[in-house]
Amino acid sequence: MNRTLLIGLRLVWVALGAVWLMTASALAHHGWSQYDANKALESTGVIKEAGYSNPHGLIRLQVDGENGKTWLAVLAPPSRMSSRGLSQEMLKVGTTATVVGYPHRELADEIRAERITIGGKTVELR
């Protein structure tokens, strides 16, 4: 095989690999259709766990005391939270927060947060 043909084949394989990676990445990211945008919920509780990492931050919010419901609230990506004024320090365990969002259609304890209020400060997440 000549050198030009080998270089051409390598470029084709690299391009196919790049397309495959982009496709896999796009498919791996969930859509928001899993959440019921017709049922906005508001819950106030205590943060029991918090994550401030990609692709989305999260908190576990316990409402109605120790025997109440615990929501897994899916937040925005850290870069958006930071740019809108929601720092990682604000999501400390033990902090009281109010989350407004949409419940997951299948997971009874998950909510997609649209906004969060902590210490009198409300941050729009979407």
pLDDT in tens, 41-57: 999 999 999 999 999 99
Q: Which stretches does DSSP call E strand in the chain?
A: 41-51, 58-63, 70-74, 96-103, 110-118, 121-124
Which class does domain 32-124 fall in?
mainly beta
Helix (H) or strand (E) holding 6: helix 3-28
pLDDT in tens, 55-77: 999 999 999 877 789 999 999 99
CA 121 from centroid of its chain's CA atoms:
20
Full-prediction pTM beyond 0.85?
no
| Residue 14 pLDDT class (50, 70, 90 cuts) | low
Percentage of the chain with pLDDT > 90?
69
pLDDT in tens, 16-31: 555 555 554 444 455 7
Q: Count CB neighbours of 5 within 10 A.
A: 9
